[in-house]
Amino acid sequence: QYGKPICNNCIFSYNNAYKAGAIINYYGKPELNNCIISGNRAYSISAISNVAGNLKAINCTLTGNYSQGLYGVVLNRTSIYIPEDEPESPVIRRGSIDFLNCIIWNGE
């Protein structure tokens, strides 16, 4: 959470999970360089879940990931926080994912 990890030449493969098979990011700014994300399975999101974070993937391959739920390979969400003392002033944090020169293939 709120971190900025950098993954170079990593393989996220054949993981099984409920939410996301490979990566879950909340509010962070991870960077994936030359990574392979393949064969992951999950109930809701097969590979990557990004909630109000800024994820960047460069020269990565996502292939053969499977989800039983509705979200498929990647989920990008916005977060809304409603302060108890000021419910009329919600805080909105938008998520973003940049795929640069990536292959996303053969996934649900």
Model pLDDT, residue 24: 94
| Contacts of residue 63, Cβ cutoff 8 Å, sequence gap at least 6 | 36, 37, 38, 103, 104, 105, 106, 107
Beta carbons within 10 angstroms of residue 58's beta carbon: 15
Output the pTM of the full model: 0.86
DSSP class of residue 9?
Answer: S
List, for the chain, all residue ranges whose pLDDT scores fall below the cut of 70: 1, 108
Considering the chain, what is the average pLDDT of its residues? 92
Query: In whole angstroms, what is the distance from residue 12 CA to residue 67 CA?
Result: 15
